[in-house]
Structure formats: structure tokens, C-alpha cells
Amino acid sequence: MSKKSFIEANRISFSYPSYEGEIPSLVLDGIDVSIEEGEFVAVLGHNGSGKSTLAKHFNAILVPTEGSVSVSGISTAEEARLFEIRQEVGMVFQNPDNQIVATIIEEDVAFALENLGVPPAEIRERVDDALRKVDMYDYRLHAPNQLSGGQKQRIAIAGIVAMRPKCVVLDEPTAMLDPKGRREVMKTVKQLNKELGITVVIITHYMDEAAMCDRVVVVDDGKIIMDSTPEKVFGNVELIKERGLDVPQVTELCHELRKEGIDIPESVLTEEECVAVLENLLKGGAQNG
Amino acid sequence: MLKDITFGQYFPGDSIIHRLDPRMKLILIIVYIVLLFVADGLFSLLIGAAMGIAFYALSKLPWKLVIKCIKPIMPIIIFTAVLNIFFVEGDPIFEWKFISVSGKGVLTAVLMCIRIICLIAGSSLLTYTTTPIALTDGLERLMKPLQKIKVPVHELSMMMTIALRFIPTLIDETQKIMAAQKARGADMESGNIIEKAKALIPILIPLFVSAFRRADELALAMECRCYHGGEGRTRMKQLKLTAKDFGAAIFVAGGFAAVILMNMFGPEVFRL
């Protein structure tokens, strides 16, 4: 690939400040990762694996204790250019309630732009634009507490999209949502990547969500243990399970069937693909019998 | 039970009063309060009262709202009236044993009652017709000059906004915690006042902890959106004074002038 690396993490280690006498435990332990512009990356890992800590390094919320992170060539250690970095890489968090600042939806979406000192007429235009992109324009005058979790999370995404970032990092954006909300949010996230070309890094522990991405990075114990396409990562069912993670239901089913000697290709990831393959198999079986 | 608490008492509407600039409304209400105290006789005060009535008529709000806002302060009004009637000294018009009532006392009582009613009704009209958020916004802009003497105007209004934003969220949370504690056998209804207050502790502590956690996350989210205080900040919604704002200002100024003229040249009866 000839694309230049957008986010580069160079051998980063990180430990939270500890009290005197306590040995600081490494949350990140020499991570090397680079993310290209336009990628759709999932970061997988179970609780305490360091995946959220890693995400916070991508927009200078945290600065590594060792190693360096650069965004568009700007080192995150450069405090003077902090806002440049945060404009390029926006972040959406888990709890939708705790990231909405204003009492009216459109004011909340405008928040980042107001902070950046954008002229009022342009704010108006970019806010409307962002709200349309997440399909929430009709709700612009509502109060946040009138919305569902999935809708609130889409507003949070709009608040970031209004900044026109190159990359959006989402830290378990669907963990607190019901299945409907999860579908809405994932659809929006997919749109950001596919239609607007925004680089997306999504931290998750839902395997089905990771299966939707172009690349899966598996983090365990502060280290990257796998970094490949979802097909390859989930193809390695034994290793994933060994690390205490699950594989998507579809992968699990195919894996079990394969163990029984049924011929299913490794590349099957989505429900639709799986249904098609199984249908074919069953039809073939009926003809044989 | 908790759902009944409405913060601020905004009544949605589309009247001219609703659409006035919040800054203008704030200034005019202050002028109106001053006017009520400048008026020193019954006739000049009636001008003030008439202005109040005109405002309510223009706001197209139901009249029972006036009664609603005056009800809670009725005891204060009665108390003031009684004190004034019996304790203001002057030529007695009624005497019985040690009680004496003077004409001046009755007049003072009547004036005080009208004044208090107009005052409360007037300032309630402000909150009835202005959303809390518009009010905060107006206050921030009006107090901006105070920034020069190091008053943290932007920070104060940010705090107000966030408080308003989180009131419904925290009310929801309180209800969840109450339900959770009840499910664990907490008794919140019985007992005397001290026991009831004690029963609140298992509700307030989790609420506090969660509020702090929320604050922490919110701060992080705000930082991600480049928040760095009021410096260099712009606003999407610009407040603009329009013809109707100037109209309202002229109306109040006219009323003020009428009150002063009435004070100077009006009839000498019913004066203090």
C-alpha cells in the first residue's frame, strides 16, 4: 500500500501514575501500530486488556510514558498543537448521556465548533450537515433526554463529525445500547467510513461488530497479539478462545461444522454468507440423499 | 413523584413576549422593579400594575398562572399588610382599646400589597416566557463586561447549562436508585422526620458517586471537543435586538416616565 500512515504509534508503553512505593503496572507494553487513512479498524480485547487506554493515545488524551504517537505527522506530546490533533481525531465514548453538554441537540452538535471559534454562519451550516449525516436532522430542536440511547449516541457522533475530522475513534460506542440502538449506531459508523471516507477505529468486545471491519487488532495484556483481516483473525478460533475472547457466532458455527468434517470456506463471516453457504450445502445434501 | 419537579417554569408559546430577546427581557424586568419602588402613590402604582397586566395580556398565558405564582407568597403579603395596618403611626381613623388603625397605615398596606404582587408576577412572567437556556444565555451576554473585573462569567453560565442538562438525567437516576434500595428492603416512607432524612442517605451517596463519575467522563468528552474555556469561543446562535425589542423598551420607558410625572403632578390624595 502506498498510502501514508495517518496514526503512528511507535513502541508505546503506558502506566497510570501510581502511589509512592507501589510498582506501576504497565497498561500498554511496547505497542507498535499504524493506521492508514480511510481504514476501518476494530480493536478487540477483553476488559482490562488496555484497549481503551490505547484509544486514548490516538487523540492525545493520554501521552505514552515511553515511545511516541503521531497523528498526521504531529507528535501527541506537542501540547501547543493539541487542538489540531483533536480536530483531526475525534472521540466518542461509551455512555451517551455523559458526553452531551447542551440542553438542545443542535447546540450540542455546535459545541466543538463554538470552542474552535468558527464563525456563527459556518457553524450553522456544518451543524445541519453533520445532523443530516447521522440522520438526526429532524430531532435538532429536541432535548437530549427525549431521545433513545442509540439516537443520543448518534448525536455524540454528529458532534464529532461537525469538526470534520479525518478519523473517529469510538470507545465501545454500543456497550450501553439495546440491540436496535446498536444496529443504528453501527450503520452510522459504517456510513462514516464507506461514504465519507473517514478513518474509523472502533473499540469493542462485540465480535459481530469487529467482523464488519476491514482490519481487526486484538489486544491482550497491553500487547497486540493479532493484527489482520477479520477472516484471518477469526479463522484462528483456538488462539482467540485461549485469550478468553469469543468469536462471532457465525464463525463459531462454521468452526464446529468444519471440525465435523463439513466443507465450509474460511472466509465466511457474515450471517448472510453463512446462510447462503449452508443453504447450498443442504441443497447438495438433499440431492445426494 | 420526582417527575413533577419542573425546573424553571417555562410555558411554551409564540407570543411577542416569548420572542423578545432574553437580554432585553432581563433589563426590562429590572427597570420594571425599580419603577414599582419609585411609584410613591396609589395612582402612580396603578400605572405600574396596568403595565404588568398589559404584559400578561400580550404573553397570552392563562391568567390562572398569576394566581399560581402569587399563592406561595400569600402569607408574606398578608403578614406585611397586617403589620403595616396596625403599626404605621398616623392619625387614627379607628380605635379600639389599645389597637389603633391609621389612614396612612391602610394606604401603606395597600401599596405594599400591589407592589409585591406586581413584583412577583412580573418576574414570574420572565421565567414563564423564557427557556432556562435562553435565560442563561442572556445573563452570560449581559454580564460579559464583568469579565474585566475577573468575574468568571463564561464558567458560571457553562455550569448553569450543564446543571440544566443533567437535571432530568439525575432525576431518572435517583428513581432507579430508589427502586434498587427499596428492592433491598430500604424503608423510605415510615418514621419521623429524622428517620426519613436518614433513609435518604442510601439514595444520596450512590447518586453523588455517580454524579462525580459522570462529571469525569463529561470533562473528558468536552476536552475531546477542544473545550478550553470561554476564550476565543464563538456562538452558533447570535442574539439580535429587533424592532419588537425596541418597542418593548419604549413601552417600559414610557411607563416609567408616566409614573414619574404622576409622582410629581398627580393628585395629592392617596400619597405616602
- Per residue in B172-214, pLDDT (tens digit) is 899 999 999 989 988 877 788 888 888 889 999 999 999 999 9
B24 within domain boundaries: yes
The answer to whether residues B32 and B128 belong to one domain is yes
The answer to whether residues A45 and A157 belong to one domain is yes
What is the CATH number for A13? 3.40.50.300
The answer to whether residues B246 and B188 belong to one domain is no
CB neighbour list of residue A143: distance below 8 Å, 6 or more residues apart: A103, A104, A105, B168
The answer to whether residues B245 and B207 belong to one domain is no
Residue B92 C-alpha cell reads as 387614627
Q: What is the rounded CA–CA span in Å between residue B9 and residue B25?
A: 16
Domain that holds residue A13: 5-247
When the pLDDT of each residue in chain A is averaged and rounded to a whole number, the result is 87
The answer to whether residues A191 and A263 belong to one domain is no
Q: What is the rounded CA–CA span in Å between residue A279 and residue B211?
A: 52
pLDDT computed for residue B92 by the predictor:
77
pLDDT digits (tens, 9 = 90+) for A63-110: 999 999 999 889 999 888 999 999 999 999 999 999 999 888 999 999
Interface of B with A in 201-240 (CB under 8 A): 214, 217-218, 220-228, 232-238
The answer to whether residues A187 and A62 belong to one domain is yes
B109 within domain boundaries: yes
The answer to whether residues A138 and A216 belong to one domain is yes
pLDDT computed for residue B5 by the predictor:
43
If DSSP codes are grouped into helix, strand and coil, which group holds residue B100?
Answer: strand
The answer to whether residues B154 and B129 belong to one domain is no
pLDDT computed for residue A153 by the predictor:
94
> Does the beta carbon of A124 lie under 8 angstroms from any beta carbon of chain B?
yes
The count of domains in chain A is: 2
Q: Which residues pair with A40 in a beta bridge?
A: A200
The answer to whether residues A148 and A29 belong to one domain is yes
Domain that holds residue B193: 150-224
* B6 has a pLDDT exceeding 50: no
**Weakest mean pLDDT among A18-22, A102-106, A139-143, B137-141:** A18-22
Q: For the residues B41-45, what does the mean pLDDT come to? A: 90
B131 or B47, which is more confident?
A: B47
Nearest Cα of chain B lies from the Cα of A197 at a distance, in angstroms, of 20
Are A124 and B236 an interchain contact pair (Cβ–Cβ within 8 Å)? yes
pLDDT computed for residue A2 by the predictor:
40
The count of domains in chain B is: 2
If DSSP codes are grouped into helix, strand and coil, which group holds residue A187?
Answer: helix
B217 within domain boundaries: yes
Q: For the residues A274-281, what does the mean pLDDT come to? A: 85
Q: Which of B135, B170, B226, B235 to mutate to test the interface with A (most CBs of A within 10 A)?
A: B226
pLDDT computed for residue A288 by the predictor:
53
The answer to whether residues A89 and A194 belong to one domain is yes
The answer to whether residues A241 and A252 belong to one domain is no
The answer to whether residues B103 and B198 belong to one domain is no
The answer to whether residues A104 and A201 belong to one domain is yes
The answer to whether residues A204 and A151 belong to one domain is yes
Regarding pTM above 0.90, the answer is: no
Angle at A272 between CA A266 and CA A275, to 5 degrees: 75
> Does the beta carbon of B5 lie under 8 angstroms from any beta carbon of chain A?
no
Q: What is the rounded CA–CA span in Å between residue A175 and residue A96?
A: 10
Could you say which of A93, A95, A117 has the minimum Cβ distance to residue B234? A117
Q: Which residues pair with B187 in a beta bridge?
A: none
CB atoms within 10 A of CB B193: 7
When the pLDDT of each residue in chain B is averaged and rounded to a whole number, the result is 87
> Does the beta carbon of A123 lie under 8 angstroms from any beta carbon of chain B?
yes
Q: Which of B175, B212, B236 to mutate to test the interface with A (most CBs of A within 10 A)?
A: B236
SS3 content of chain A, % helix, strand, coil (to 5): 45, 20, 35
Q: What is the rounded CA–CA span in Å between residue A145 and residue A152?
A: 8
* A287 has a pLDDT exceeding 90: no
pLDDT digits (tens, 9 = 90+) for A35-73: 999 999 999 888 888 888 999 999 899 999 999 999 988
* B150 has a pLDDT exceeding 90: no
The answer to whether residues A228 and A99 belong to one domain is yes
The answer to whether residues B120 and B254 belong to one domain is yes
pLDDT computed for residue A285 by the predictor:
61
The answer to whether residues A101 and A221 belong to one domain is yes
The answer to whether residues B202 and B132 belong to one domain is no
Q: What is the rounded CA–CA span in Å between residue A82 and residue A94?
A: 23
Chain B residues in contact with A90 by the CB 8 A cut-off are: 224-225
pLDDT band at B1 (very low <50, low <70, confident <90, very high): very low
Q: What is the rounded CA–CA span in Å between residue B272 and residue B269?
A: 9
B270 within domain boundaries: no
The answer to whether residues B6 and B79 belong to one domain is yes
B230 within domain boundaries: no
CB neighbour list of residue B25: distance below 8 Å, 6 or more residues apart: B17, B126, B129, B130, B138
Compare all CA atoms of chain A with the CA of B210 and give the residue at the minimum distance: A98
The answer to whether residues B131 and B62 belong to one domain is yes
pLDDT computed for residue B30 by the predictor:
94
Chain A residues in contact with B162 by the CB 8 A cut-off are: 101
The answer to whether residues B154 and B261 belong to one domain is no
The answer to whether residues B16 and B132 belong to one domain is yes
Compare all CA atoms of chain B with the CA of A59 and give the residue at the minimum distance: B224
CB neighbour list of residue B125: distance below 8 Å, 6 or more residues apart: B17, B29, B52, B55, B56, B59, B61
The answer to whether residues A129 and A185 belong to one domain is yes
pLDDT band at B164 (very low <50, low <70, confident <90, very high): confident
Could you say which of A97, A107, A117 has the minimum Cβ distance to residue B169? A97
The answer to whether residues B28 and B116 belong to one domain is yes
Please name which of A190, A159, A213 lies closest in space to residue A41, comparing C-alpha atoms.
A213
